[in-house]
């Protein structure tokens, strides 16, 4: 579970061991796998103002990092969606009893990247949509695959794209991604923001999240950008 990696303040030889262990995990983890997916056959109409979308696909550190390295994304904030305000904190959410999913709210310029393209990235490299209530080493409903749609347009694009890639049999298993209306998105605690960028030597990041960024660069170079759009830069 990623909670075990929140404290990366290990000295000397322990830090070296942690990095080595992370490299071993990276060479053997599902996070390294990506799927080449077709572009959406149906997409949202191009808007002239910025839009937002909320994605949940396991630990928010990796999902946030992938979208932060996506051209056209203006901001990507880790947080919680699907539950109540009073339980929207890491300590409560990790119980798996709050209804929340660890999620990322993506603000993007639809003139540069579409909602459908963000979905393609989400399914291709950000997570495995066939894993039910888990991603990698993290288990529980808080790590479920989910798309929280903000309007009927997003819902239709998501439904059609899932049907498209299911029909193409892009994955060996059934897509279990939940589609749900977004009530409210609650930003996570500050220490969760920009985590992959701030802790690149964390064993967890090395094993499970850095490979996702590498896969984005390799699989979809047309949307990859080297410099991430950090939450800290927005403040």
In sign, the C-alpha dihedral spanning 96, 101, 104, 107 is negative
Instruction: Give the C-alpha separation, 187 to 82, whole Å.
Output: 12
Angle between helices 210-219 and 60-68 (to 10 degrees): 30
- Name the active-site residue from 53, 59, 106, 231: 59
64 is catalytic: no
61, 85, 188, 189, 202 from 127: Cα distances, Å? 11, 26, 20, 22, 19
DSSP string, 130-195: TSTTEETTEESGGG-EEEEESSHHHHHHHHHHHHHHHHTT-SSS----EEEE---EEEPPGGGTTH
Token reading at 182: 């977004």
* Residue 226, SS3 per DSSP: coil
Residue 8 CB: number of other CB atoms within 10 A?
16
In sign, the C-alpha dihedral spanning 170, 63, 200, 223 is positive
Residues with catalytic annotation? 59
């Amino acid at each position: 579970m990623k909670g075990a990696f929140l404290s990366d303040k290990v000295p000397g030889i322990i830090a070296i061991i942690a990095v080595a262990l992370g490299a071993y995990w990276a060479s053997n983890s599902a996070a390294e796998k990506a799927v080449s997916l077709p572009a959406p056959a149906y997409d949202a109409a191009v808007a002239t103002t910025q839009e937002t979308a909320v994605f949940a696909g396991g630990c928010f550190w990796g999902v946030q990092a992938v979208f932060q390295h996506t051209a056209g994304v203006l901001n990507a904030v880790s947080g919680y969606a699907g539950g109540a305000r009073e339980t929207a904190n890491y300590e409560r959410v990790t119980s798996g009893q709050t209804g929340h999913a660890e999620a990322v709210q993506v603000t993007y310029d639809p003139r540069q990247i579409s909602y459908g393209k963000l979905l393609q990235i989400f399914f291709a490299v950000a997570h495995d949509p066939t894993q039910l209530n888990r991603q990698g080493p993290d288990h529980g409903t808080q790590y479920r695959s989910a798309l929280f749609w903000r309007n009927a347009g997003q819902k239709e694009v998501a439904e059609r794209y899932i049907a498209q890639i299911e029909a193409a049999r892009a994955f060996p298993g059934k897509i279990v991604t939940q589609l749900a209306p977004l009530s409210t998105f609650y930003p996570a605690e500050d220490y969760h923001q920009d985590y992959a960028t701030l802790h690149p030597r964390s064993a967890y990041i090395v094993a499970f999240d850095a490979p996702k960024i590498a896969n984005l660069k390799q699989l979809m170079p047309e949307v990859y950008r080297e410099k991430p759009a950090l939450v800290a830069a927005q403040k």
